[in-house]
Structure 1
C-alpha cells in the first residue's frame, strides 16, 4: 500500500494533462512494472506477493482516486492473470505466472465475447486466428494478450493466451472516447496468427465450473473498484474546492459556505451514497476471497450468492457515483467548471466505464432472486 500511494501521488501530478492528451501512458505503465505491483496477486510460490483480492482491489481504488485509466489497466492485469488460472491447466498457467513475476509482464485484454469478428480456423495441431477485436483494454504496450475467437468449425468460443508481439498481431491506437482516455482500449487486428494448441485455455475451459465462473465476477468487482475509487476522488476534490474556493449564496444568510444548509444537505447525500457503496463493495470482496479459497469445492449456490452481492454493489456504486460526479458542481460553484481544473473528468471516466454492461440487467437479476429465488445465470457479464 505504501508503494501504491506513492505511485498515486506521482500519477496525480500530470493526470489532468494526460487526460487531455489521451494515448498510451507509457511512463506510468513502466512505473507499475518497476514497482512490482503487476505480480502482487501471483502466489509467492511463483514469484509474486500472494495478495488476496481485498488487497489487490484496494490498490485499484487508491490508483482510481487520482487516475481512472491507470487503475483500469492495473485491475485488468490481475483479471487476465485470474483468467488463465481459472480456465487453463497448471502446466499452462504456472509458467505464465512465473514469467510474469520474473519479467514484469503486462497482460492486455482482447477477449470481448460480444465481438465475434475474430475467427479461429483449426489446423494440424494449431489454430489460425484472423479478424479484429474491439475494446481491447491494455493491449498496447503489453507483453501478453488474452484473446477470444469464434471457431469456424463449431462456433464455440476459444480463449487463448499469446504474446502481443506474435507475428500477425497489430494493436491499433484508435481509442479516443470522452473518458478513460488512457486505457488503450482500442482495437487489435489478427492476420493469419498462429496459435498453438497449448496456448488455448480449454482445460477446464471458460465458465466450466462454479470456480471457473468466478472469472466474470472478478471482472465485475474490478470495475466496481475503479468506479468507487473514481467517486472517492471526486468527493475529495469537491470537498477541497468547496472549503477553499466556494462562496455562500447571497440568499443563504451565512458567511461561510460550510454553514449553508443546502450545501450540508448535498454532502450528507454524497456521504450516504459513498458509505453504502463502500459497505456493499467490501462485503462482496470478502465473499470473493472466501470463494477463491474454496477453489473447485465452490458450489453453484455459493457462486450465486456472490453474484448477487456483486450486482448489489455495482448498482449502488454506479448510481450514487454518477449522481455525485454530476452534482459535485452544485456545491463547488461556477468557478469549479474552469477547464484547467478538469473536474469533469471524474464524470467522464465514470460515465464511460459504467456503460460496460447495462445496469438494468443487473437489477433484473436481483429482482428474479428477490421474487422467485433464481440465481443469476453465469455468463461473461454476470
Structure 2
C-alpha cells in the first residue's frame, strides 16, 4: 500500500463535471499515460496520441471558470493534477501544466487580450478543447516586435517553447523597436509561425520544448497581454510564481514516482545482500534506513510545497489589492518549495539504485527516467539563486524582485 499523500478529491457531488474529471477521469488518464510511459520516454518525439488523451479527458479546461464553460478548478486542484501526472509521466505533466500557465497569464495580465478579450480566449479554449503552448522564454531575447498599423510585426525565434508543437495558441514575448517589452497571444497556425521539433535533451523528452520561429508574423494590438511601457501589477507578476510552483510539483511528482517505483522493485524483485543476514531485501536494516532517509526528503518537500500553494492561493484571492510585500512573501515560500522539491527529485531518482541493485538498471524497468527527467528539468533556472533569495530574506528581510523567474 502506498504511503504517498495524494490530494483528496474535492468534496463536491461526484456527479459534477469537476469531480468526475478529478476522480475517474484523471484515474483513466493516468492509466493511459502509464501504459506507455517507459517506452515513450526512451523513444522521445512528439506524443500526439497521448496529448489527445489529455484533450479527451476535459482537463484542458480545469482552471477555466465554470461560467466560461470550464471546470472551475482552483489552483490547489490544478497542482494536484500536475503532481499526480508527474509521478508516471513528467514530460506530459509539464505540457499539461504549461498549457494552464498560459491560461493563468490570460487572467492575470492587464492588456486588451486579457481585459477586453480574455473571456473570449478562455471560452474558446473550453469549447474547442484548445491546447496552449509557450513561446515566452524571458531569457531568450531574439524575438523582436516592430510597430505597424494597428499592431506589431514579429521576427526572430524563441527557444525552450514547451508544448508549442501540436498547440493551437501560443503566448509570446518580444522586445520592441523602442527598447520595450510586450507579451501577446498568437494562433500557432498563423502565417509565418514555424514550430521546430528540435528538442533533444536526455530527459523530459516529450515536452515539445523546441524552437519557434517567427517570420513577419502579425500581432494585433488587441492580442496584447502586456502592453509595452506599462508595468505589471503585483498580481500580474504572480504568473512567475505559478510557474515556479509548477516546477516544484513536477519535481515532487518525480520524487514520489521514483520512491514508489523503487519501493515496489525492492519488495518484489530485489535480492538481499549476502552479508545482510536476512532472506528478503525489505528486511535489511540498511535498506530500511536508506528508505527512511529518502522518505524524509520527499516528506519535507511535500509539506513545504503545500504551504507555498496556500500562500499563492491567498495572494490570487487578494486580486488587485495584493501588495508588493505580500507578493514577495509568496516568492519566498515558492523558493523554499523549489529548493526542497529539486533536491527530492534529483536525490531520490539517483539514490534509488543503491537500494534496488544492479539488475534494476535494465532498460526494461526504466528506473533511470526519474533521475534524467529531474536532472534536466531542475536546470530550468538556477536553484542557487533561490537559496540566495532565501538567505537574503532571512538576513535583512529583503523580498525577491519580480522577474520571469522570481
Fold similarity call, TM over 0.5: yes
Aligned match for 1:15, one of 37, 47, 69 = 37
CA contact (8 A) 1:111 1:159 kept: yes
Name the SS of the counterpart of 1:329 in structure 2. helix
- How big is the shift at 1:116? 0.8
* Aligned pairs (5 A) from 1:151-190: 151-152=176-177, 154-190=178-214
Structure-1 residue corresponding to 2:122: 97
- Give the TM-score taking structure 1 as reference length: 0.98
TM-score (norm. length: structure 2)? 0.92
> How big is the shift at 1:204?
9.9
Q: Could you say which residue in structure 1 is the equivalent of 2:248?
A: 224
Quote how far apart the aligned CAs of 1:90 are. 2.4
SS in 2 for 1:194: strand
| Shift in alpha-carbon separation, 1:204–1:103, aligned structure 2, 3 A | farther
Instruction: Choose from 364, 368, 371 the match for 1:344.
Output: 368
Which of 146, 150, 161 matches 1:121?
146
Residues 238-271 of structure 1: CA distance to partner in whole angstroms, max 9, x if unpaired? Answer: 0000011111111111121111111011101111
Instruction: Tell me the distance in 1 between the aligned counterparts of 2:343 and 2:268.
Output: 28
C-alpha distance in 1 between matches for 2:371 and 2:181 = 35
Residue aligning to 2:226: 202
Instruction: Please report how far the alpha carbon of residue 206 of structure 1 lies from its aligned counterpart in structure 2 after TM superposition.
Output: 7.8
What SS does the corresponding residue of 1:173 show, helix, strand or coil?
coil
**2:46 is the alignment partner of 1:24:** yes
1:48 aligns with 2:48: no
Secondary structure, aligned partner of 1:120: strand
Q: Confirm or deny: 8 A CA contact 1:207 1:379 kept in the other structure.
A: no
SS of 2:276's partner is coil
Please list the CA deviations of residues 133-167 of structure 1 after superposition, one character each: whole Å capped at 9, or x if unmatched.
10000001100000111112x22111110100000
Give the 5 Å matches for 1:1-382.
1-2=22-23, 3-87=25-109, 88=111, 89-152=114-177, 154-202=178-226, 208-382=232-406
Runs of 4+ in structure 1 over 2 Å off: 202-207
Provide, for residues 180-239 of structure 1, a one-character-per-residue CA deviation record: whole Å limited to 9, x for no partner.
000000000000001111111135988611111101000001111111111111001000
Q: Deviations over 1:308-344 (max 9, x none)?
A: 1110011011112211110100111111000121110
Cα distance in 1 for residues equivalent to 2:269 and 2:226:
57
- Asked if structure 1 preserves the Cα contact closer than 8 Å seen for 2:181 and 2:229, the reply is no
Tell me: CA distance 1:245–1:207, structure 2 relative to 1, closer, same or farther (3 Å). farther
Q: Which runs of 5+ in 1 are unaligned?
A: none
5+ residue gaps, structure 2, are 1-21
1:206–1:212 contact (8 Å) kept in structure 2: no
For 2:133 and 2:350, how far apart are their aligned partners in 1? 31
Deviations 1:334-358 (A, max 9, x none): 1100012111000010000000000
Give secondary structure in 2 for the equivalent of 1:251.
helix
